[in-house]
Every structure is written in C-alpha cells, then in structure tokens.
Amino acid sequence: MNTLEPFTPNFGSGVTVTASSTSANITVPENAESVCITNIGANIAYIKTGVLVGATASIADYPILPYAQAIITKSSSHGYFAYISAAGTSLHVMIGEGF
C-alpha cells in the first residue's frame, strides 16, 4: 500500500471467533492487505498475524479494547491471525484493502 486509502472490505469474508485464555488462530489469505477486527465483547483481546499455523498471540501483542475496532495491515507472507483474551470475548474478523 503506497498511499493511505479507505478500508474496502472483502464482503463475505467476515468470521466471528471466540477468544479465550488460550491462544487460537485462523487462516487469512496471504495476499490480503488489511484485517479489520471488531471486538464485539466486553473484554480486551490481543491479536497478531503470523507465518506459521502455530502462530500464537499473547498480552504482549496488539490490544483490541472492548467494543472497539481496529484495521491493521499485514505482511503478504502472513497467512494466520492469532487472538487471545484472558477474560474471554468475541471478535469479528474481516479482510480487505486499505486502512
């Protein structure tokens, strides 16, 4: 991404996941430029992208506050999205382009 472009969601790509005290991950297309994460629960979550199927998130990673949304860009080699929440929460994850 060379310029700042509005986020354009890839409609139909959204999934809702349940984050718990154990890190979990889902696959995301490597060619997806951005990931929009909406925390639809009442507890903080931490997220990261990674290369390996075993990618894990920890409290040292990017926080998504309760009822907040963030759009992150990711490396084209990252095909996994990891998430964790000590108190548990739900996240809606959607890929797209732009920021």
- Series of mean pLDDT values for 10-residue runs along the chain (99 residues): 80 97 96 96 98 94 98 95 98 95
- Residue 2: the pLDDT is 58
Q: Looking at the 3D structure of the chain, how many domains does it have?
A: 1
Residue 12's CATH number: 2.60.120.10
Which two structure tokens, joined as six digits, stand for 46? 């931490």
User: 3-state DSSP call for residue 44?
Assistant: coil
Q: Which domain holds residue 35?
A: 8-97
Query: In Å, what is the CA distance from 51 to each residue of 25, 41, 70, 77, 78?
Result: 11, 27, 21, 6, 4
Residue 2 lies inside a defined structural domain of this protein? no
Report the distance separating Cα 91 and Cα 41, nearest Å.
7
Residue 1 lies inside a defined structural domain of this protein? no
Query: In Å, what is the CA distance from 61 to each residue of 12, 17, 80?
Result: 27, 18, 14
The reported pTM is 0.92
Residue 52 lies inside a defined structural domain of this protein? yes
Half-sphere exposure of 95 (CA within 13 A, CB side): 18
